Amino acid sequence: MATQTSACTGSTLLQPISEIINLPLDQVNFVVSQLFALLTAVWFRLYLHPSKTSPFIRHVVATLLGFYLALFCFGWYALHFLVQSGLSYSIMVFASLEHMHKYCFIVALGYLSFCQITRVYVFDYGMYSADFTGPMMVITQKITSLAFEIHDGLAKREDQLSPSQKYLAVRRMPSLLEYLSYNCNFMGILAGPTCSYNDYMAFIEGTSYQPRHADNANGHENGKYRQSEPSPKISVISKLASCAVSLAVYLSLCQVIPVERSIDSAFVSSTPFHLQVVYLYVAMLALRPKYYFVWTLADAINNAAGFGFNGYNKDGSPRWDLVSNLRILDIEFATSFKTFLDNWNIQTALWLKRVCYERCPINPTGATFLLSAIWHGVYPGYYLTFLTGVTMTMAARAIRHNIRPHFLGSDRHKRIYDVITWAGTQVAISYTVVPFVLLAVGPSIKFYRSWYCCLHLLCLLLVLALPVKPRHLRPREPSPRLQSDGLQAPHAGGHAITDNNCNRKDKAT
């Protein structure tokens, strides 16, 4: 039966539809709001184009529509978005530039944690209905990212910044309207994704299509840069098709293959261990399409509004992946723990790298996993997942540095290595995220016991047995085609080059 209306703090207008299709009202409100945002995005791109209206009007409309969707889905809980943004903006304006970014980081993350704690432990433990803290997580990323970007742009010298930080640095304090539009626009208020402030302002002002490098060979005709804007139609249609497939797979399999069966005593006692491993992999495979649907739909909404253009491919076709949050094929065929994480929730990984990993002087990998756990929420399962993730990352790094070189002598050996590491990665990921799904300590420990904590012990053994040289003593890998990466993102400049390079070499999350 459909969820009671009391579980939803937003609008009850769609309650009859919720009862007919037998889905909770808050989920119906969310999907309908996102579909409304998709149609609005098309109107926004066509009728409020930068050539037809001013940035002021575009900011106002994007902000008001965002607040409307938030009120429709979450009711008065949407006021938390304004409170969090207002407190952080006050700090940006009145605090000293030297420490402003630290204060914003503490206040924004602290307010998010306060809301998560009260929602989980005061109101309803395990309640997902009307979870207003989901949008707050994205707003927290935007607030903290912008605070660091303003600090880089106004309080640091050029020689103190990395190439990507130079591109992301904000050189003037945003107005209140610009700030609210960036945080709460209708394209990303419900499901994100996070984007840089400079990229968002370029979209609002209509400069995101302009090439910035004279040596750019992509996107030009007869030696002259193409001035017409690329259409996002093909990208939007393909992403909506992916959404439809993901939703169909999730609704078909999520109830048939629940993860919770992995800790059922009868299932564990009657199923051989190797079949338990296969079942866990399939159960996690059936769970991921839910995230594919939400993130791909959010990406399509941004593209439909004209946001997300990321240069041209080698064949001249436009790329619309600037704010994409995942690469599905790279996730499903990942051959390492790092590759999986690099292609899962991409914008959050970039946020963690930019605000924590690149700036933390002590144990940046551990600090990054800790920040990720705090940001996700207060369920104990989150912390068990990220603690396990630290050991998995260290073990995967040890395997890569000590074992992988022995398989690079021939293509056949490399294919064998890829098959083995693909299977190991999928099992390791499934094992790691079980507490993230189960949430509570008791069921999570019960699962680990049923597996005899085998992967924990194996990872610890690998870390102790296989030495990994410090980063500054490792031989440098041949540089990828930086020029090619840069050409594919003409409006991102060194930003794309640096992030791609960091993803391949330096990023641990």
Structure-token pair, residue 422 = 């693909």
- Of 29, 185, 343, 345, the catalytic one is 345
Q: Which residue has tokens 């994100």?
A: 192
Rg from Cα positions in the chain = 23
Other CB atoms within a 10 A radius of the CB of residue 443 amount to: 18
Answer yes or no: 302 catalytic: no
State the alpha helices, DSSP H only, in 377-453. 380-402, 411-438, 441-450
The residues facing 225 across adjacent strands are: 220
Q: Helix (H, G, I), strand (E, B), or coil: what is residue 502?
A: helix
Q: Helix (H, G, I), strand (E, B), or coil: what is residue 324?
A: coil
The answer to whether the beta carbons of residues 107 and 149 sit under 8 Å apart is no
Q: Which residue has tokens 């993803």?
A: 503
The answer to whether the beta carbons of residues 429 and 337 sit under 8 Å apart is yes
Answer yes or no: 456 catalytic: no
Query: Long-range contacts for 98-105 (Cβ within 8 Å, ≥24 apart)?
Result: 98/155, 100/147, 100/150, 100/151, 100/155, 101/144, 101/147, 101/148, 101/150, 101/151, 104/143, 104/144, 104/147, 105/144, 105/147, 105/148, 105/355
- Of 59, 101, 151, 376, the catalytic one is 376
d(CA 295, CA 191): 7
The answer to whether the beta carbons of residues 458 and 398 sit under 8 Å apart is no
Which residues have a catalytic role annotated?
345, 376
